[in-house]
Structure 1
Amino acid sequence: MMIASHLVDPAEISVNWASIGGLSHIINEIKETVILPIKRRDLFTDSHLTQPPKGVLLHGPPGCGKTMIAKATAKEAGCRFINLDVSILTDKWYGESQKLASAVFTLAMKIQPCIVFIDEIDSFLRNRNIQDHEATAMMKAQFMTLWDGLGTDTNCTVIVMGATNRPHDLDQAILRRMPASFHVPLPNLTQRKDILKLIMDGEPLDRAVNLDILAGKAEGMSGSDLKEMCRNASMYRVRDFMKSENAYEAKKAQEKSNQASSSKSSSVDTEEMEDFHEALRPITQEDLMRSLDKMRDTKIRTSTSGV
């Protein structure tokens, strides 16, 4: 079944709360309002008001960890995870899209607890208008009808979770079905420090590296931007290594051509060459600052390219 290929077991999800930096306040809210009612249903059997929400919306700028939060929520709650690609719901044949939407909820209910995740949900469930294609309008209506059906069964634990950076484009009927809404903003200074420490954990750093200074100069960057900045900084040492590797190979070639030298002299030269051929050096503050400047320059160029 095509939809089943998008199904992920919680044990196979590599992302957990430890993978997410700087969002402890949002994580705590999700633990209390989403995960606790799922894992401890026995505590809430006498109240229909403390059931897990049927819809959760994660909204905020791109690259701030919305998808990671969704996956970590599924892993923490022990929920099966359907990473729904909206393209699988579209079909040129009349009525097939509604059948595919029905198949999603049928599968989710069979394997519950389950989270149906829709990234860029605004591209699928945006504001309806008269210009919508008939098939698209019918698919949206079918999806929302099936979604409403989850609320009639108090024992059903299927959550539709969506992520978007354009919440104002969502249909009001969709927002009503997603009462648990979490804004995931760009990280502030403290959060940038936490993210950088998480990214650089276990990496070989020069003693002079100061992540606090780096975090202060990285204002306006998302978690994804910070990760790319650190990755690019690490590549500078790889380039330096390749230069030293080429120099090492050149010295080896020269040593071969000097076979007339004494064996003692050759042995000493070989030791010198081995000392010269070192492993990757640590990441330096200069590497990180160069990478930061490059990221800023790229952002400026891309933001003004359409002007």
Structure 2
Amino acid sequence: MNETTPGGSKSKAAKKRAQASLARLQKSNPGLKLDLNEYEKTILASVIPPDEIGVTFEDIGGLDSIIDDLQESVILPLTVPELFNQYGPLLQAPKGVLLYGPPGCGKTMIAKALAAKSQANFISIRMSTIMDKWYGESNKLVDAIFSLAGKIQPCIVFIDEIDSFFRERSSSDHELTAMLKAEFMTLWDGLSSNGRILVLGATNRPDDIDGAFMRRMPKRFAVTLPNADQRAKILAKVLDGLDYDFEISELVDITEGLSGSDLKELCRNAAVNSTREFIRKNVRAGNDLESMENIKLKPLNIQDFFDNSTPSDKLLKKLATVKVDPVD
């Protein structure tokens, strides 16, 4: 039997992961009993209970307006459904939400924080994993995504790089791909209006997504490169609790065009440089680092952020980020 089928060796490893996931779910929900088929158990291995996600909106800097909108349009409908059922389907939580913008701007962190705040189980799906299965297996796994989500709701099904699978359809699409897209849309449409299941997609290429899928994600949030105020909030959060002898505004002024993850890496680089300087200084002095007590590193300074080059030289070497225009 092939290892990618439910009875294969990879499936046995997946069963162990599924058992561990089930144990975590039952810890969060005492008394929870699930009757799962082999395909649902495979998907179960990708489930993270909300109390184990480890990301909150407080960990995300500079995205207050998006968070406020998510609170009103997604979180409260999931957590207080009786309030949003007063006007029938008009105010119910959307079945689909899209986060789009350049890489490194916090889309995945928002997705996880959204699940944690909503107290929703989080299923992170990479469609490439689904597509790698044998003919017939992929359809069953797609079906299992939705059937499992229904059993463990409230649930957020997160699909990163959603454009890789739900790109604009064409006559050159493989038959299996076309079938899977149709199957996914049918199951998506079949979600109960009273259910608490959300499909959440993330992409840096929204224009490549098929229009039929875009219509199923009526709530769309542009997660763009941070402006000056947002960079200040991100840097303040990353540097919180550390000693530094510069004004954050100095860094803000020279980091235009950097994403949130770029800024975090810049700060990590500064810490590495400062630590390396301390090590080399003491090695040259003949000091035994392992026997040193009360080690105290100097406060970070601006030069720590840029090695031995000028700030402008360092920023010129940063990875290019993709600019994404708003989606209609």
Higher helix fraction (1 or 2): 1
Aligned to 1:74: 115
Q: Which structure has the larger Rg?
A: 1
Distance 1:201-1:96 versus aligned 2 partners, 3 A rule: same
Q: Quote the Cα distance in structure 1 between the aligned partners of 2:154 and 2:130.
A: 22
Shift, 1:274, TM fit: 6.5
Give, in whole Å, the separation in 1 of the partners of 2:169 and 2:314: 38
Identity of counterpart residues, as a percentage?
50
CA distance in 2, matches of 1:251, 1:9: 48
Change (3 A) 1:200 1:114: same
**Which of the numbers 227, 230, 236 marks the counterpart of 2:273?**
236
- Does the CA contact (< 8 Å) of 1:229 and 1:295 recur in 2? no
Q: Does 1:217 align with 2:254?
A: yes
Q: 1:39 aligns with which of 71, 76, 79?
A: 79
Root-mean-square deviation (Å): 2.0
Q: Distance in 1 between matches of 2:292 and 2:119?
A: 52
Q: Does 1:194 align with 2:233?
A: yes
CA–CA distance in structure 2, aligned partners of residues 96 and 83 of structure 1 = 19
Q: Is the 8 A contact 1:64 1:223 kept in 2?
A: yes
CA distance in 2, matches of 1:7, 1:295: 40
Once the 2 structures are TM-superposed, how far is the Cα of residue 211 of structure 1 from its aligned partner?
A: 0.7
Residue 5 of structure 2 is matched in structure 1 by: none
Q: State the Cα distance separating 1:100 from its structure 2 match.
A: 0.7
CA offset digits 1:171-223 (Å, max 9, x no partner): 000000000100111111111111100110012223xx111121011111111
Residues 238-247 or 22-31, more deviating: 238-247
Change (3 A) 1:241 1:68: same
Contact between 1:241 and 1:279, CA under 8 Å: does it hold in 2?
A: no
Matches of residues 34-183 of structure 1 in structure 2 within 5 Å? Answer: 34-46=74-86, 47-150=88-191, 153-183=192-222
Q: CA deviation at 1:96?
A: 1.6
Between the aligned partners of 2:240 and 2:268, the Cα distance in structure 1 is 13
Q: Which runs of 4+ in 1 moved over 4 A?
A: 289-295
Change (3 A) 1:94 1:198: same
**Per the alignment, do residues 225 and 274 of structure 1 end up closer, same or farther by CA in structure 2, a change over 3 Å counting?**
closer
Change (3 A) 1:274 1:176: closer
Note the C-alpha offset of 1:123: 0.4
Aligned to 2:28: none
Instruction: State the one-letter code of the partner of 1:203.
Output: L
Q: Determine the C-alpha separation between the residues in 1 that align with 2:318 and 2:199.
A: 33
Which TM-score applies when normalising by structure 1? 0.85
Establish whether residue 279 from structure 1 lines up as the match of residue 296 from structure 2: yes
Counterpart for residue 267 of structure 1 = none
Deviation at 1:284, TM superposition (A): 1.1
Distance 2:204 2:260 in 1: 15
Residues 230 and 293 from structure 1, CA distance in 2 versus in 1: closer, same or farther, beyond 3 angstroms? farther
Deviates more, 1:90-99 or 1:103-112: 90-99
Is the contact between residue 306 and residue 314 of structure 2 (CA under 8 Å) also seen in structure 1?
no
**3-state DSSP class of the match of 1:2?**
helix
Residue 294 (structure 1) shift: 5.7
Does residue 299 (structure 1) correspond to residue 318 (structure 2)? The answer is yes
How many pairs were matched up?
Answer: 276
Name the CA distance, whole Å, in 1 between partners of 2:107 and 2:132: 28
**CA offset at residue 164 of structure 1?**
0.4
Read off the aligned partner of 1:138 and give its amino acid letter: M
Deviation string 1:99-139 (CA, Å, 9 cap, x unpaired) is 11000000000000000001110001111111111111111
TM-score (norm 2): 0.80
